[in-house]
Amino acid sequence: MARITQQMIFARLWVALVMLWAGLRILAVEIWLVDYGVSIWWFALIEVLSSVLYGVSSARLVKELATRHRKNSAKWGSLTLIGYVLPDTYLLSVGRAMPLATYLVVVSLAVAFAVIALVRTRASVMKITLADVG
């Protein structure tokens, strides 16, 4: 029987939180952006698939960075980036005549959450590395 580690629990919790955030984003697009040519069904499909990709690959990225596997880190980092930018890329590319504030909000949130993700990834890697040393 496979042993469930604390790292596995955190990875699964992380994926669940990413999926919750995806649901909130889909709801926000449904409320505010469908009138600007954004298909809620396409956005929801892209958001859900991208969120699974982002959640799983970012959890694997932390593991690979902590174990210093650079080649695997690059692979998981690339998949994490794709999963992160795909929904916003779709949103910004198909939205027609959206108010300037919409573009600013989407880009600002994307940049802010990217910075937070980088800081949290670094903290997670450091925590795992220190736990392995200790």
- Helical pair 40-66 and 100-133, crossing angle rounded to 10 deg: 30
Residue 49 within any structural domain of the chain: yes
Q: Report the number of distinct structural domains present in the chain.
A: 1
Asked whether the beta carbons of 97 and 33 are under 8 A apart, the reply is: no
pLDDT of residue 80: 96
Give the domain extent around 122: 6-133
CA 100 to chain centre: 24
Residue 1 within any structural domain of the chain: no
Q: What is the mean pLDDT of each run of 10 residues along the chain (134 residues)?
A: 78 94 97 95 98 95 89 95 97 94 95 94 82 67
- List, as one string, the DSSP characters of 31-46: HHTGGGT--HHHHHHH
Asked whether the beta carbons of 62 and 121 are under 8 A apart, the reply is: yes
Predicted TM-score (pTM) of the model is 0.88
Residue 100 within any structural domain of the chain: yes
Asked whether the beta carbons of 73 and 64 are under 8 A apart, the reply is: yes
pLDDT of residue 99: 93
